[in-house]
Structure 1
Amino acid sequence: MASKTIHVTLAPNHEVSLTSDAPDIDALVREIVKVRDVFDPEQVKVDCEHEGFDKASFREIVIQSASDFIKAIRLDEEEYKEALRNLKACDEESEVAK
C-alpha cells in the first residue's frame, strides 16, 4: 500500500502533514501546543488526495484529541499555579514567623 499524505490545518498558518504509514505525531502535538490558546474546532481542516480516506471522521478524531490534550494542559497549568501560590503562602508565613 502506498503512503498517503494527510494535511491537517489546526489554525491559520498551523498546518501539519502526516503520512499514513508513519505519521509524525510529534509535529502534530507541537502544533496543538502552539495553538492551544486560540484553538477553534471550526477552523480544523483535513485534506487528503486519496479517495478512500474518510476526512470527516479523521477531522473529528483530530478535534476530539486536540481538545482533550488542550484541556489536560490547562488542568496541569492550573495545578502548577496553585502549587506556586501555596509555596508563596508558606514562604510568607515562614517570614512572618521569624
Structure 2
Amino acid sequence: MASKTVRVTLAPNHSVTLTSDAPDIGNLVSEIVKIKDEFSSDLVQVSCDSETFDEAGFKEIIVQATEEFLKQIHLDEMAYSKALTALQAGPDSSA
C-alpha cells in the first residue's frame, strides 16, 4: 500500500505534512500550540495527493480535535492561574 501525503494548513504560514505510513502528530500538535490564540476552523485546509482520500472528513476530524485540545489548554491555563493566585495570596488569615 502506497503512502499518502496529507497537507494540513491550520493558518497562514502554519502547515504540516503528514504521511499515512508515519504521521508526525507531534509536529501537528506543535503547530496547533503556536496558533492557539488565533485558531479559526474557517482557515483549516486539507489536501492530499490521493483522489480517494476524504479531505472533508479529515478536515472535520482535525477541526474537532483541535477545538477540543485548545479548550483543554484553556481550562488548564485557568486552573493554573487560579492556583497561582491562591499561592500568591498566602495562607487564609481567617482560620
TM-score by length of 2: 0.94
**Can you give the 5+ residue segments of structure 2 that lack an aligned partner in the other structure?**
none
- Mapping of residues 1-98 of structure 1, within 5 Å: 1-90=1-90
Give the 4+ runs in structure 1 shifted more than 3 A.
none
Distance 1:22 1:70 in 2: 24
Q: Secondary structure at the match of 1:9?
A: strand
Gaps of 5+ in 1: none
* Cα distance in 1 for residues equivalent to 2:2 and 2:58: 19
- CA-based RMSD: 1.1
Q: In structure 2, how many angstroms separate the alpha carbons of the residues matched to 1:70 and 1:90?
A: 31
Name the SS of the counterpart of 1:17 in structure 2: strand
- Give per-residue Cα distances to partners, 1:67-95, cap 9 Å, x unaligned: 0000000100000000000001116x67x
State the Cα distance separating 1:2 from its structure 2 match.
Answer: 0.6
Could you tell me the TM-score, scaled by structure 1's length? Answer: 0.91
- Count of aligned positions: 93
Q: Percent of aligned positions with the same letter in both sequences? A: 56
Measured in 2, the distance between the counterparts of 1:59 and 1:77 equals 27
SS of the aligned residue for 1:38 comes to coil
Bigger proportion of residues as helix: 1
Q: Distance in 1 between matches of 2:57 and 2:31?
A: 20
Listed one character per residue, the Cα deviations across residues 30-84 of structure 1 (whole Å, up to 9, x for unaligned) are 0000010000000000000201000000000000000000000010000000000
